[in-house]
Structure 1
Amino acid sequence: MRPIASLVSAGLAAALTVSIAASAQIIDTVPSDGLGSGAQPPLNLPQMGEPADAALSPTQEAQIGASVMSQLYQYEYILEDTELTDYLTTIGYRLVAAAAQKPPHVEFFVVKDPRINAFAMPGGYIGFNAGLLIASSTESEVAGVMGHELTHVIQRHIARSQADQGGVGTFATWAAVLAAIIAGSANPDVILAALAVGQGSLYQKQVNFTRANELEADRIGIQTMHEAGFDPEGMASFFQRLAQQSRLYGSGVPDILLTHPVNTVRISEARARAASMKTRKVENSYEYGLMRERARVLTFGRPADGIDLYTAELKAGRDTPGNRYGLALSLRESGDFPGGIAVLKPVLDANPKQVNLLLLMSELKLYAGQQAEGLALAKKAQELYPRSTPAILGYASALIQAGKPAEARQLLLSTEQSFGTRMETYRLLSNAARDMKDTGTASYEMANYLYYRGDYGGALAQLDAGLRLDSLSQQDRARMAARRAEVREALPRNYNPYARERR
């Protein structure tokens, strides 16, 4: 068994969060704000220089968030999929643009977990379990959850909770206990580990305070999503679905719903606020249906699970673009590329300019050995959507696969990709340099890839390997040495490179 401290860390020390799942239970004694009359309460935005800064400064929040992200990557808990990440990021920045107050930094990522959850971490990192997208029925429901979590970031609820508790506990202790809040719903051992190191009372105080923040996050989140053009009813309808699942599953309800049930107060408050706003009919985007099935396929344990599910759906007469896309993606995962092409073709013929369909068909064609057709489809996607990160990275990947790494490198260096995808850019730059026989640049870019994943030791090893090359130009050697100094500065002072080899 791992030591307790390691257990807390490995049990997704990740969380450090105020989460929609971990705080879904709202105390029934919270008074109504009378929203049925159409009244809008003040937003209660935090003031600059408030006590939260003394308890947990923005710099400390950023450090915690980056540290937690590195652990999420280390334990392969993040679903590194460019299309899903870009889809959520697009919705997220639409909400940010409509928010009354802008966060200094926000970054969205997908968690490789089929359970329903979303959470906001210090530093503006907002995670969404794939299961939340799968469980949604409308795009406005996804936006409702995202608006809620974005409010936690903008309102700095984590820092404010630390200030309100008078700085209870050391900084490291507080961080470990917050980690247990979200990880504990999936792994009771994490909670026990926190208790074992004497964190029980602090844990309970933190849970109670985060529950008190939820109505504020709901209230501001609904207003933000309405301003962004989504249906404000989306948040309430998602809460209602969670409540229905609690009743449906009974004793077999997932841990997340048993521990944190959604009650009638929260649902009624959300519905009252939505009713007070101007109603609008909001259609789901075409991309929403595809991305929901993409999330489902990428969390299946076996490709056969997806093939069975979508084949049954089509046989039952539910011949939707989402079901065909899901089946084609499952066939790609299983290695049946001709089968995927046949399934996807009718959908692409009907929607010849849809970027996700173009990219999937491009991959299927390339893997099936139809290189010219696959490359042409990827190029079409990038030309139609020159600012789309999935299109840019998809075309770059296709160019590398087609033996044109120099063109891929030029494309990657001449375009700007969205937040949450820069690591994939560095990985592709490294692959392109490798195929161009430029070993030094390949090492440099791979070091960047590992650095932004939080693997500072791995990044250092790549740079050291590159610096040993006799073929390095003086300019490249200076660049690599400067980068090495930056990476070395990020490492713990007692870092031992041999420890990596023993693990």
Structure 2
Amino acid sequence: MLRRPGSCFIASALCLALALPTQAADRFEAPGLTDRGGAPAASGDYGLPSLTHGGSQAISGEERRLGRAWLRQFRARAPQWQDAIAQDYVESLVARLLPHSGLARADTVVTLVESRLLNAFAVPGGVVGVNAGLFAFAEREAELASVVAHELGHLAQRHYARGRERAEQVQIPTMAAMLAGMLIAAGGGGDAGIAAAMGTQAAFIQDQLAYSRRFEQEADRVGLQAMAGAGYDPEAMVAMFRAMQRMVSLQGGNPPEFLLTHPMTESRISDTEARARQTPVASPRGEALEYALVRARALLAIHDRDPEQAATRLAQDQAPAGARRYLGALLDARAGRTDRALNALDALTRAHPDLAMLPATAAQVAFAAGRTDDAIARSRAQLRLMPDYVPTRRLLGEALLQRDPDAAYRILRELAERRPEDPQVFTLLAEAAGRSDREAWGHLARAEQLQLTGHIDRAIRQLEVAKEVAERQGDPAATSAITQRREAFLDYRETLETFR
């Protein structure tokens, strides 16, 4: 994948978030850390989030509102890594770490970024972003977990609210200007976006530097506790920091994207190393093949134009044999050798029957090769054993669009209720509604997809079309749902103006 101009400013999300206004709230105190400073309505409302009210007890309503609004703008500009299997893996990892980070009740949303650069970020409101490039850099699952746990530490320690206390008078306009520059850069605006972001950063970054270093240390400590609680070796965080330092030295002082907003010093590494040694792991997790499989998918996404490089990288890193066979099957599928790919994936499934992504990948391969009935049969067989595996349920809904649109609609409608922040689900739901003679509901689903990806004005116009269709067809349930959503969308638009 080619490097996009200004992609390093995706990492600015962490610094930008320091400017977001939040309501006062307690923050998680990790051991040894001293503080220095619903169900969907019958009308068909899909259980979608409000950007103006609510939120969990752990994340304030204002944080949630602004975080969700920021995410919509980010989706509109930044390249998304649309991989349902990788998405499910990262969501599971976040869920594993959350109870040990002080954010057990947080309503988090994971977004994956199609970038080869090493980066992860967290934004107020529980938004967690991970670049595909982080998988390439982290050879072990615990190393990836260390970065995600660190980001959760920023959320748990309320660093954004505390950052606002430091510069309340200047950070709101600064945040808006910086975010505008970052979004321009993420969308390919190049030097213009970079200049806009850097120009506003310079006005206050010196005053924030020492404060940010303290924040980094606090996030490290919370992250160590979260890792240990989830069964990951805390020493992996130290290993990641050392590896980042080596990368900087090899690149002549050009730091990886993550370090642009996470200052790294020898004293910080030493402090983390000392604490890691004193942090016991109650129930250590072994090295999981699952991570190596997702890493193979990430490497393939990164080396999309030369996929053999992904295989070379796995071999160089001495990845497990199962991961290398898995990547080989993906390469066979790309080359049109479908039977060979499916045979390899079926063999891996028999060897590792508990890994849901293996049969799910086989179903994906069959569907991509045009073997729709095989994909449906494989998906149904897996869901009988693993009914809650989202990637397979989504694939079944997509495959059924070609055989039984009404069944596809029911599956995708249920999935949309469970995943109200997933634009891809609403894209499929809109198609299923259209094919099953639910025209008004199809327009509504399309409107939801548009608002989730930052196109709020188009979403409102789509709702107007939906309402006209519902009234013409005499569908009072659809008319009521559309009217309610229009009111919510107008509130969304007001919030989104913060970032324009």
Residue 306 of structure 1 contacts residue 327 of structure 1 at CA under 8 Å; is this kept in 2? Answer: no
Give me the whole-angstrom Cα distance separating, in 2, the residues matched to 1:420 and 1:136. Answer: 30
- The aligned residue for residue 357 of structure 1 is 358
Residue 164 of structure 2 contacts residue 171 of structure 2 at CA under 8 Å; is this kept in 1? Answer: no
Give me the whole-angstrom Cα distance separating, in 2, the residues matched to 1:456 and 1:373. Answer: 38
- The aligned residue for residue 36 of structure 1 is none
| Residues 124/18 of structure 1: CA separation in 2 closer, same or farther (3 Å cut) | farther
Give me the whole-angstrom Cα distance separating, in 2, the residues matched to 1:404 and 1:220. Answer: 49
Cα shift at 1:222: 0.2
Question: Is 1:44 the counterpart of 2:46 in the alignment?
Answer: no
- The aligned residue for residue 406 of structure 1 is 406
Residue 296 of structure 2 contacts residue 314 of structure 2 at CA under 8 Å; is this kept in 1? Answer: no
| Residues 479/67 of structure 1: CA separation in 2 closer, same or farther (3 Å cut) | closer
Tell me which amino acid in the other structure corresponds to 2:356. Answer: V
Say which SS state the counterpart of residue 388 (structure 2) adopts: coil
| Residues 288/179 of structure 1: CA separation in 2 closer, same or farther (3 Å cut) | farther
Cα shift at 1:188: 6.5
- Correspondences of 1:457-476 after superposition (within 5 Å): 457-469=457-469, 470-476=472-478
- The aligned residue for residue 4 of structure 1 is none
Say which SS state the counterpart of residue 113 (structure 1) adopts: coil
Tell me which amino acid in the other structure corresponds to 2:481. Answer: R
Residue 67 of structure 2 contacts residue 124 of structure 2 at CA under 8 Å; is this kept in 1? Answer: yes
- The aligned residue for residue 484 of structure 1 is 486
Residue 14 of structure 2 contacts residue 121 of structure 2 at CA under 8 Å; is this kept in 1? Answer: yes
- The aligned residue for residue 326 of structure 2 is 325
Say which SS state the counterpart of residue 16 (structure 1) adopts: helix
Tell me which amino acid in the other structure corresponds to 1:220. Answer: V
Say which SS state the counterpart of residue 428 (structure 2) adopts: helix
Give me the whole-angstrom Cα distance separating, in 2, the residues matched to 1:69 and 1:494. Answer: 10
Residue 430 of structure 2 contacts residue 446 of structure 2 at CA under 8 Å; is this kept in 1? Answer: yes
Tell me which amino acid in the other structure corresponds to 2:32. Answer: P
Give me the whole-angstrom Cα distance separating, in 1, the residues matched to 2:36 and 2:455. Answer: 36
- The aligned residue for residue 382 of structure 2 is 381
- Select the residue among 118, 121, 125 that pairs with 2:120: 118
Say which SS state the counterpart of residue 117 (structure 2) adopts: coil
| Residues 59/205 of structure 1: CA separation in 2 closer, same or farther (3 Å cut) | farther
Sequence identity percentage: 26
- The aligned residue for residue 275 of structure 1 is 277
| Residues 125/311 of structure 1: CA separation in 2 closer, same or farther (3 Å cut) | closer
Number of matched residues?
Answer: 455
Give me the whole-angstrom Cα distance separating, in 1, the residues matched to 2:135 and 2:379. Answer: 26
Say which SS state the counterpart of residue 120 (structure 1) adopts: strand
Give me the whole-angstrom Cα distance separating, in 1, the residues matched to 2:411 and 2:442. Answer: 16
Give me the whole-angstrom Cα distance separating, in 1, the residues matched to 2:75 and 2:350. Answer: 38
Deviations 1:146-202 (A, max 9, x none): 11110101111011011023x131523234347779999996654532455x65222
Tell me which amino acid in the other structure corresponds to 1:44. Answer: D
Tell me which amino acid in the other structure corresponds to 1:267. Answer: I
Say which SS state the counterpart of residue 122 (structure 2) adopts: strand
Cα shift at 1:227: 1.3
Give me the whole-angstrom Cα distance separating, in 1, the residues matched to 2:313 and 2:178. Answer: 44
Deviations 1:348-407 (A, max 9, x none): 343345321111211222333433322111112222221222232122223224x12222
- Select the residue among 4, 8, 14 that pairs with 1:17: 14
| Residues 385/493 of structure 1: CA separation in 2 closer, same or farther (3 Å cut) | closer
Give me the whole-angstrom Cα distance separating, in 1, the residues matched to 2:182 and 2:477. Answer: 49
Deviations 1:103-137 (A, max 9, x none): 64322221111111111112221111111122112
- The aligned residue for residue 348 of structure 2 is 347
Gaps of 5+ in 2: 18-29, 38-58
TM-score under structure 2 normalisation?
0.79
Tell me which amino acid in the other structure corresponds to 1:242. Answer: M
- The aligned residue for residue 436 of structure 1 is 436
- The aligned residue for residue 85 of structure 1 is 87
| Residues 101/337 of structure 1: CA separation in 2 closer, same or farther (3 Å cut) | closer
Residue 18 of structure 1 contacts residue 120 of structure 1 at CA under 8 Å; is this kept in 2? Answer: no
Deviations 1:78-117 (A, max 9, x none): 3232222221111111111123454643222211111111
- Select the residue among 287, 290, 307 that pairs with 1:287: 290
| Residues 143/160 of structure 1: CA separation in 2 closer, same or farther (3 Å cut) | same
| Residues 69/11 of structure 1: CA separation in 2 closer, same or farther (3 Å cut) | farther
| Residues 18/141 of structure 1: CA separation in 2 closer, same or farther (3 Å cut) | farther
- Correspondences of 1:120-199 after superposition (within 5 Å): 120-165=122-167, 167-169=168-170, 171-177=172-178, 190-194=193-197, 196=199
Cα shift at 1:289: 0.9
Cα shift at 1:460: 1.7
Question: Is 1:296 the counterpart of 2:299 in the alignment?
Answer: yes
Cα shift at 1:255: 6.3
- Select the residue among 212, 219, 222 that pairs with 1:220: 222
Cα shift at 1:434: 1.9
| Residues 315/272 of structure 1: CA separation in 2 closer, same or farther (3 Å cut) | closer
Cα shift at 1:238: 1.0
Give me the whole-angstrom Cα distance separating, in 2, the residues matched to 1:362 and 1:150. Answer: 33
Say which SS state the counterpart of residue 129 (structure 2) adopts: strand
Cα shift at 1:306: 1.2
Tell me which amino acid in the other structure corresponds to 1:300. Answer: H
Cα shift at 1:271: 1.8
Gaps of 5+ in 1: 1-6, 21-38, 47-56, 496-503
Residue 31 of structure 2 contacts residue 225 of structure 2 at CA under 8 Å; is this kept in 1? Answer: no
| Residues 223/183 of structure 1: CA separation in 2 closer, same or farther (3 Å cut) | farther
Give me the whole-angstrom Cα distance separating, in 2, the residues matched to 1:315 and 1:93. Answer: 31
Residue 81 of structure 2 contacts residue 112 of structure 2 at CA under 8 Å; is this kept in 1? Answer: yes
Q: Larger deviation: 330-339 or 228-237?
A: 330-339
Q: Larger deviation: 486-495 or 430-439?
A: 486-495
Cα shift at 1:478: 3.2
Residue 11 of structure 2 contacts residue 257 of structure 2 at CA under 8 Å; is this kept in 1? Answer: no
| Residues 177/236 of structure 1: CA separation in 2 closer, same or farther (3 Å cut) | same
Instruction: Specify the structure having the higher radius of gyration (Cα).
Output: 1
Give me the whole-angstrom Cα distance separating, in 2, the residues matched to 1:380 and 1:427. Answer: 25
Say which SS state the counterpart of residue 231 (structure 1) adopts: coil
Residue 310 of structure 1 contacts residue 324 of structure 1 at CA under 8 Å; is this kept in 2? Answer: no
Residue 114 of structure 1 contacts residue 131 of structure 1 at CA under 8 Å; is this kept in 2? Answer: yes
